[in-house]
Amino acid sequence: MSEPTTDLPAGQRTVADLDLKPALEAVLMVVDEPATEEHLAKILERPRRQIADALRELADEYTVQGRGFELRYVANGWRFYTRAAFAPAVERFVLDGQQARLTQAALETLAVVAYRQPVSRSRVSAVRGVNCDGVMRTLLQRGLIEEAGTEPETGAILYRTTNYFLERMGLRGLDELPELAPFLPEAEAIEAETQEGVPSFDPDAPDDAPGRPVSRGTHDEDDQTEL
């Protein structure tokens, strides 16, 4: 393989001429979601194996050097993240007095979706014992869950977690979720008692829309904090 032609002006050098590691760093600095090895190989005109080896070498170099950031493989791709050891500094800068975490209600709802997916909104509400319209709307708006078709028996919309959820959780895939599913109650066992009182909702409708129903025997729950 020929060496990168570094003596040419920047405007005359092709992507294939660029030094691979700095090129990878430059691209990964501007991605808004994890970049796959296949995509990076296509963009930088290199074999995927060469891309994969360079990415792992970079990740190891950052760790050895004790840099404040790290290169991680999550959600089937690579992206820069701040190193956990420096989280206090980052949190102080980012939050700056603002609430940036999901509420307990939102976290619980997200956990039910993650472990039961694809799952209908009524089943989520059945597991939690409250109407989850507002929280589900919040999770949809933040891109943590998405629609995943409809339930054949009832026609109810099903929901699943998104690639963005994997990215924020630092997971390669759903198989890396902790083994918590056995501790969640079976929604089917209690849904019959609650499904009639847990209506469907329009994710685009405002929380205070006229006539917006609330499930019988439960209260409606909303999430007002910012992520």
| CATH T-level fold of 104-197 | Arc Repressor Mutant, subunit A (1.10.10)
| Strand duo 157-161 + 145-150: pairing | antiparallel
Residue 25 CA from chain centroid, whole number: 22
* pLDDT 10s digits, 45-66: 999 999 999 999 999 999 999 9
Contacts of 5 (CB under 8 A, 6+ apart): 13, 17
Q: Domain extents for the chain?
A: 18-93, 104-197
Per-residue confidence band for 203, with pLDDT thresholds at 50, 70 and 90:
very low
Between 185 and 92, the higher pLDDT residue: 92
Q: What is the reported pLDDT for 120?
A: 92
The tens digit of pLDDT for each residue in 100-146 reads: 578 888 999 999 999 999 999 999 999 888 888 889 998 998 899 99
Same fold, 18-93 and 104-197: yes
Q: Does domain 18-93 have CATH number 1.10.10.10?
A: yes
